[in-house]
Structure 1
Amino acid sequence: MLNNSTKVMFYMTLVGGILLTISSNSWVGAWTGLEINLLSFIPIMTNNENIYTTEASMKYFLVQALASSLLLFVITTLTVIEKSQLISKLSSHGSLMAIPLLLKSGAAPLHWWFPSVMEGMSWMNCFILMTLQKIAPMILMSNIILPSLQLTMVILSSVVVGSMGGLNQVSLRKMMTYSSINHMGWLLASLLISNNLWTIYFMIYTLMTTAIILMINMSKISFINQTFTMNHDSMFKFLLFTTLLSLGGLPPFTGFFPKWIVIQYMISNNYITITAMMVVFSLITLFYYLRITYSAFLIIHTKTSWNFKLPNKNSLLNSTMIFSSIMGLLVLPIPMSIYL
């Protein structure tokens, strides 16, 4: 991943763009950080050994450039009207400014570019797109977002598209994409409550996504049918699917904890109808995880007479990630109750 000094420089500027965006108090500074982040991620995406990365990087660049242009146009217009570029001064126009940010983060119904871009990237770049690239737009939205009908429709659209879109997928990348869209709905719902709740949800989501990407990348698999014959290590296979169920929000795994908090706080704030719909469609997401798990363990499970050793599967980092994503619910409620 960090195979040369050029890649190291692009990773540093990518993180620097995120830090510039979240630390800026003006929209022009935030826009500049978003552009630095975009121009750093495009070279990271490209790979001469994979012809699909060129198409994916071009699609990603065009969509992000469109969103950035729209954001700059909105910033310029509101600056002329309000005579200010400060984020706090322009927060009253949050519904308008959230549109390009939602397009950048891949929330439904502005998600049309997300699955095709994910399909053409390596697993490590998929991880960056699903986690790091969401930080800056979500931080900006946390400063301007207000409860509204438009936000409710975006939340419901993300939850519905993320659950229904993953039902007929055979590609693991597209399945993870629609899972990310589903979690975007929950992240936006957590923004309605507090920034602390959004931070907790995003950290746990990043932990679970990291564990899954590490295991899938080590196994070198890309499609669901490849998991059926992944019998070189039954425990590794068990951990992979258990982590998937944790990402789907099945209790008593870690992924259930942030959804539990979001449901509790939304019901206490009288968002009962939207909460019920989010729970129902999250069960559909959990269904296609369970369907894969059931098939891989009970229906199509063969044991070969030879065993392959996966490299680094017992490393301390990977083991910690996987264990935390599965068993974190045993210890998380204690510190989080103090934090909230």
Structure 2
Amino acid sequence: MMFMVSVMVGIMISLSSMSVLSVWVGMEVGFLGVIGVMSGQSVGEVESTMKYFIVQVLGSLCFLLGVMVGCGGVFLGMELVLLVVGLCFKVGLFPFHFWVPAVMSQMSWWGCMLVGVFQKVVPLWVFSNIGLDGYLLGGVELVVMMTALLGCLGGLGVLHFRVLFAFSSLIHTGFMVVLSMVSLFGFFSYLLVYFFLNLGLVLCMWSSSIYSVLDVLKVRGVSVEVLVLSVSLYALSLAGLPPFSGCFLKVYFLGLCWGAFPLVCLVLVFSSGVSLYFYLSMFLSLSMMSGSKGLGIGGSVNILKSWYFLSSLVLNLLGGLPLFMSVGIY
């Protein structure tokens, strides 16, 4: 609880800061809290924590160097480049994307949640406020497109859920970077929906101790069919398949960003389509391994009594309609 408070305090310090140095201080406070949550008892978790620590320190040094260059008046013109490089390190944009699957593949589910959602808030908020233009804006567009393409191609053939979560996070990071440069309100709206979808998925996986497809067969206390259906709803929603809530994110993104970044929007939507393919492959693998042959009356009763399925249904299907209606009203 203390470390989670540190994460939230760091985010609030950065978002309420009046100077770039204070933003850096807030990011470091939140980073220390994340390190405390990530540090587990297994060797894999400790190794992933060390990898994450090294990468984030490099990103923080680049960001701080950019702040010092801007304040000192030396090498003017390089401060924005250093700031962007530091932010790319922190959120895992190309060519610094390599650490995301390596780190998240050995984390706990709550560590994945922190790295995949909470640690993106401040860097992307900075992206929306530094006012990129010219060659830097073109470079960020190229970086976003490469990140999304690598994220969708890297997930092909992967049946380890945390690795899939990492590659999916890369794709959604590309969406959020572009959205943050167009509309700050749109970025926070996207992030809020993305947070609830990931929270439901992480709760489902964590409570069942599932990390790969093979773990589904070891589930106790809930039928395999219910769990497969619940996880698949989250996966298809994150991939943007209508009429799920995740489709709202893609439509909302296109409505705000198409006029400013048409080529980037095409690449991001293509990457989302490819991610839908590997999510469908995962769904078929789960279905075959569970040996599901359809649900009868007893199965239906079990589904209705399962919080896995009910929470997945509310977040992914029933939540989509009011989201689209709110956008139409807005």
TM-score (norm 1): 0.85
Segments of 5+ residues of structure 1 without an aligned counterpart are: 1-7, 83-89
C-alpha contact (below 8 Å) 1:21/1:32 kept by paired residues: yes
State how 1:155-304 maps to structure 2 within 5 Å. Answer: 155-227=144-216, 232-269=223-260, 271-297=261-287, 299-302=288-291
1:278 Cα deviation from its structure 2 partner: 1.8
73-82 or 90-99: bigger deviation: 90-99
Alignment partner of 2:126 out of 132, 140, 145: 140
C-alpha contact (below 8 Å) 1:163/1:285 kept by paired residues: yes
CA deviation digits over 1:283-321, x for unaligned, max 9? 111100011112322x334269xx9x99x9528xx9446
C-alpha contact (below 8 Å) 1:64/1:104 kept by paired residues: yes
244-253 or 257-266: bigger deviation: 257-266
**Residue 76 of structure 1: aligned partner:** 68
The one-letter code sitting in structure 1 at the alignment partner of 2:139 is Q
The one-letter code sitting in structure 2 at the alignment partner of 1:292 is M
- Percent identical pairs in the alignment equals 26
**CA RMSD for the aligned pairs?**
2.7
Alignment partner of 1:44 out of 37, 50, 71: 37
The one-letter code sitting in structure 2 at the alignment partner of 1:325 is N
Alignment partner of 2:28 out of 35, 55, 58: 35
287-296 or 223-232: bigger deviation: 223-232
Alignment partner of 1:16 is 2:16? no
228-237 or 14-23: bigger deviation: 228-237
Segments of 5+ residues of structure 2 without an aligned counterpart are: 294-298
C-alpha contact (below 8 Å) 1:19/1:33 kept by paired residues: yes
Do the aligned partners of residues 265 and 102 (structure 1) sit closer, same or farther apart at CA in structure 2, a change above 3 Å counting?
same
Structure 1: distance between partners of 2:165 and 2:91? 15
Alignment partner of 1:119 is 2:105? yes
The one-letter code sitting in structure 2 at the alignment partner of 1:38 is F
CA deviation digits over 1:59-104, x for unaligned, max 9? 111111111111111111110119xxxxxxx999544412101211
Q: Secondary structure, in 3 states, of the residue corresponding to 1:331?
A: helix
TM-score (norm 2): 0.87
CA deviation digits over 1:175-212, x for unaligned, max 9? 10000001011111212321111111111111111111
Structure 2: distance between partners of 1:237 and 1:207? 19
The one-letter code sitting in structure 2 at the alignment partner of 1:74 is G
Do the aligned partners of residues 14 and 273 (structure 1) sit closer, same or farther apart at CA in structure 2, a change above 3 Å counting?
closer
Structure 2: distance between partners of 1:145 and 1:180? 24
1:224 Cα deviation from its structure 2 partner: 2.4
1:337 Cα deviation from its structure 2 partner: 3.5
State how 1:324-335 maps to structure 2 within 5 Å. Answer: 324-335=315-326
1:118 Cα deviation from its structure 2 partner: 0.9
C-alpha contact (below 8 Å) 2:233/2:313 kept by paired residues: no
1:157 Cα deviation from its structure 2 partner: 1.2
Structure 1: distance between partners of 2:326 and 2:251? 15
Q: How many residues align?
A: 316
Structure 2: distance between partners of 1:133 and 1:321? 24
C-alpha contact (below 8 Å) 1:211/1:325 kept by paired residues: no
Greater share of residues in helix: 2
1:326 Cα deviation from its structure 2 partner: 3.0
Alignment partner of 1:98 out of 84, 89, 114: 84
Structure 1: distance between partners of 2:115 and 2:166? 10
